[in-house]
Structure 1
């Protein structure tokens, strides 16, 4: 049995799936979702973008909710996935959702983050033609880094927003009460937005929260956490369960 006792902060369905994976590896976890996913009602803009899909050089899907909702929209208007454009995802878990639906998808094998995606030779090839266009499937806001980099390379970038992120309502004492009550020694944060929500919820209890080991998905979120005073930050180089498990294996376990 692992000495790790993790607080999971992802949306409830993702936390439940991750908790089952961790339990199979002997890792205890407890969930306090800091974000919740709400699908957006279909709009004329969404329809226009999905019907114009073949004009894009690449489609980038940034998250699992974006993959699920994007596929629902796609299948309403395209009985078969168009041969163009080429599809990309930020991580392996998102790619699996697309692949299970018959979409040929490219994704980085060496990291589930924006930097690894942007370094893919397949993405460079997709954008090599004249006037490249990229469609990014995502929630409202987020992942500006990808678009900024692609625009800097001369690509036109459009967003297809599919969901919004809400915040569950907890009493101000809920976070520390759960950490202390279940003797949790680490916190998993899945995004910069999730970290900001964690910091907000902690409020005056933040110094106690910041003493826990914090597992984060990318260098950018790691920088946020260190700047906020987290004592030990572990960059998992991805948001997948496999990335977390790999990080848990190489990080010294806290004393029981």
Structure 2
């Protein structure tokens, strides 16, 4: 029985802990998935800010988890010392983070309904000035990244503590990808953040940069698509959000043209 991805090698660049579902699905469709994280995730170098936030957890009204990595690098420390405060409302940018929270027994998560980014979260009624003014908000995130969420909530009158509970680093090189491109065996790549894309571009030699510009690149957000086109990529396919959206876009792609 033929599958939609027979003979195709597709690179999944999510952090390793979030790559398994996509990789397994690609295999089920007859393809070969190469998991090559463009963001290596590790615990924050300094645990003190997270520990300080845990000590005052009861003072917060809202706790925003930026990603599943934020959940996995903060909640074990929280739950090792105390229960989650019943009055503390959790919020998340995407459904993957909601799933990660559920694994720790935390539900009733504030989540955007159609688009999953900081802008969509900030548009929710629960994050407007009338609600957050003079309230304390905890943002659990990786080092670096966008400041839009914290800055906007401060402008709305909230007292915001943004705590980096994990680090993100680029891999040392892209040798596995370059070997596939040099062999003509890399058919598509899935990129789930603009930061990952920047890392990839910075790692490639000139030959592979040229290959990247003509390789189908699946991205789940308009901002990443815009970044990809700014780098000169010619086959940028914007999917729906999360793994389900990416899977649907990969299936719908006309592979006969490649």
Same fold (TM over 0.5): yes
Alignment match, 1:196 = 198
**Structure-2 change in CA distance of 1:152 and 1:178 (3 Å):** farther
Deviates more, 1:173-182 or 1:16-25: 173-182
Alignment match, 1:32 = 36
Q: Aligned partners of 2:155 and 2:106: how far apart in 1?
A: 28
Deviation at 1:233, TM superposition (A): 1.5
Matches within 5 A, 1:128-139: 128-139=131-142
Alignment match, 1:221 = 224
Alignment match, 1:234 = 237
Task: Tell me if 1:179 matches 2:188.
Answer: no
Q: Aligned partners of 1:109 and 1:181: how far apart in 2?
A: 42
Deviations 1:201-233 (A, max 9, x none): 113131221111111232221111111101021
Deviation at 1:52, TM superposition (A): 1.3
Secondary structure, in 3 states, of the residue corresponding to 1:95? helix
- Please point out which of 137, 142, 146 is paired with 1:143: 146
Task: Tell me if 1:75 matches 2:74.
Answer: no
Deviation at 1:6, TM superposition (A): 1.6
Deviation at 1:41, TM superposition (A): 5.2
Q: Aligned partners of 1:19 and 1:61: how far apart in 2?
A: 25
Deviations 1:57-112 (A, max 9, x none): 2111111111111111110221x210122111111111111012121222223233
Deviation at 1:148, TM superposition (A): 2.7
Runs of 4+ in 1 over 6 A off after TM superposition: none
Deviations 1:169-214 (A, max 9, x none): 226x543322353722211112121111110111313122111111
**Structure-2 change in CA distance of 1:180 and 1:114 (3 Å):** farther
Deviates more, 1:89-98 or 1:15-24: 15-24
Structure 2: state its 5+ residue gaps.
Answer: none
Alignment match, 1:103 = 106
Number of residue pairs the alignment of both structures matches: 252
RMSD in angstroms over aligned alpha carbons?
Answer: 2.4
8 Å contact 1:35–1:166 — kept in the other structure? Answer: yes
Structure 1: state its 5+ residue gaps.
Answer: none
Deviations 1:6-65 (A, max 9, x none): 211222333334201332344432222222111125633221111212222211111111
Alignment match, 1:253 = 255
Deviates more, 1:146-155 or 1:156-165: 146-155
Q: Aligned partners of 2:155 and 2:206: how far apart in 1?
A: 41
Secondary structure, in 3 states, of the residue corresponding to 1:128? helix
Q: Aligned partners of 1:31 and 1:182: how far apart in 2?
A: 18
Q: Aligned partners of 2:132 and 2:39: how far apart in 1?
A: 39
8 Å contact 1:137–1:161 — kept in the other structure? Answer: yes
